[in-house]
């Protein structure tokens, strides 16, 4: 278990983080400048906090004097593997030499080399120099170099962000394969939502040097606890409203700023002002020939625009007189089969279970 409770100021920017991270992969997610990489540097010992403490299991990495005996464990004693955004390989050393760098001759950790070569599919590249490697290969070498030290903690600072889409996808699979085989506690920094969902056992959303929300990826992505988190994790349909009544089934009947909905949510008093939302992929398109009325919030809408996103289409729907009021994601085959285009009328359903009550506004 990694316990982090630190404060650090850099001019106008202040980091104030309190986290307890269990085993597995913890993803630090947030916009640029939110403090994600700073947390890794504090844990690794590359930057010293102003106050607080950092403890991995029973090993104290850092403790300020106001917490007891002041402790600053040197970097080389923290048993941390660190992989940066760029591989930073030694250009004059071969792949084998880069991986083994820092592990003395005769050290039994050198015996891990064949296993890491196989896990990361670096076979046949052992005698190549970094300039002879692709970006993905170089990053896998950097990962192997971090793993061969048998670290107690693995820190990954956006290691795949400089790679092309296909290589990035493959690299994620390699990383997941290695971590399944070697379950090392890992902290992974990214601003990529897909990467966070694919790799994380937990997600920590940060902004402005603070933790906004943390939990399992599905909980954070589908049940954000604030407007800011909802925006960042892709819940693009966000609205304000007032609770009109509680239905006999326990649903919140909300008069929204653009349309009315019924929502499954925690008990909220009638008259409370709330913020609610739904992810674009959870908005359901209703076929015109469908006669059975679905259970949920059905809206009549006009398609304002259709945007191709590869195998998916993003449709912008107009319910009011605004430019658009609702976003919906549909598979390519649905849009093309139905020949959906701007100006078409359509019906959509916002399932009650998918509409999320984000927050109750203060003062409500």
Across 308-328, average pLDDT? 95
Confidence of residue 217 (pLDDT cuts 50, 70, 90): very high
Across 188-199, average pLDDT? 90
Across 251-280, average pLDDT? 93
Dihedral (Cα; 339, 341, 344, 350), 10-degree rounding: 90
| 362: pLDDT strictly greater than 70 | no
pTM: 0.87
pLDDT at 363: 46
> 319 or 177, which is more confident?
319
Specify whether the CB–CB gap between 267 and 281 falls below 8 A: no
| 315: pLDDT strictly greater than 50 | yes
- Rounded Cα distance between 133 and 93, Å, is 12
| 113: pLDDT strictly greater than 90 | yes
Give 38-49 pLDDT, tens digit per residue: 999 999 999 999
| 291: pLDDT strictly greater than 60 | yes
Confidence of residue 345 (pLDDT cuts 50, 70, 90): very high
């Amino acid at each position: 278990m990694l316990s982090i409770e630190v404060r650090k100021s850099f001019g106008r920017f202040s980091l104030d983080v309190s986290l307890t991270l269990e085993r597995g992969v913890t993803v630090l997610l947030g916009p640029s400048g939110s403090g994600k990489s700073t947390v890794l540097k504090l844990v690794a010992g590359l930057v010293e906090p102003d106050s607080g403490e950092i403890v991995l299991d029973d090993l104290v990495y850092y403790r300020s004097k106001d917490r007891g005996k002041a402790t600053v464990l040197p970097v080389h004693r923290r048993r941390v593997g660190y992989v940066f955004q760029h591989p930073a390989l030694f250009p004059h050393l071969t792949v084998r030499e880069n991986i083994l760098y820092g592990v003395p001759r005769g050290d039994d950790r050198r015996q891990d080399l064949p296993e890491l070569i196989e896990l990361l599919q670096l076979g046949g590249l052992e005698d190549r120099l970094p300039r002879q490697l692709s970006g993905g290969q170089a990053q896998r070498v950097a990962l192997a170099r971090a793993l061969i030290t048998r670290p107690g903690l693995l820190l990954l600072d956006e290691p795949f962000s400089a790679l092309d889409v296909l290589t990035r996808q493959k690299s994620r699979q390699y990383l997941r394969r290695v971590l399944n085989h070697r379950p090392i506690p890992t902290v992974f920094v990214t601003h990529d939502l897909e990467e966070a969902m694919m790799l994380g056992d937990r997600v920590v959303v940060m902004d402005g040097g603070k933790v906004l929300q943390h939990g399992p990826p599905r909980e954070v992505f589908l049940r954000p606890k604030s407007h800011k988190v909802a925006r960042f994790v892709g819940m693009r349909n966000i609205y304000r409203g007032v609770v009109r009544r509680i239905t006999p089934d326990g649903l919140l009947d909300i008069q929204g700023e653009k349309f009315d909905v019924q929502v499954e949510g925690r008990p909220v008093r009638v008259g409370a002002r709330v913020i609610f939302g739904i992810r674009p992929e959870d908005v359901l398109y209703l076929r015109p020939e469908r006669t059975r009325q679905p259970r949920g919030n059905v809206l009549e809408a006009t398609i304002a625009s259709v945007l191709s996103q590869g195998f998916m289409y993003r449709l912008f729907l107009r319910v009011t007189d605004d430019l658009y009021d609702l976003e919906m994601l549909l598979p390519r085959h649905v849009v093309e089969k139905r020949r959906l285009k701007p100006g078409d009328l359509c019906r959509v359903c916002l399932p009650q279970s998918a509409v999320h009550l984000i927050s109750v506004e203060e003062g409500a």
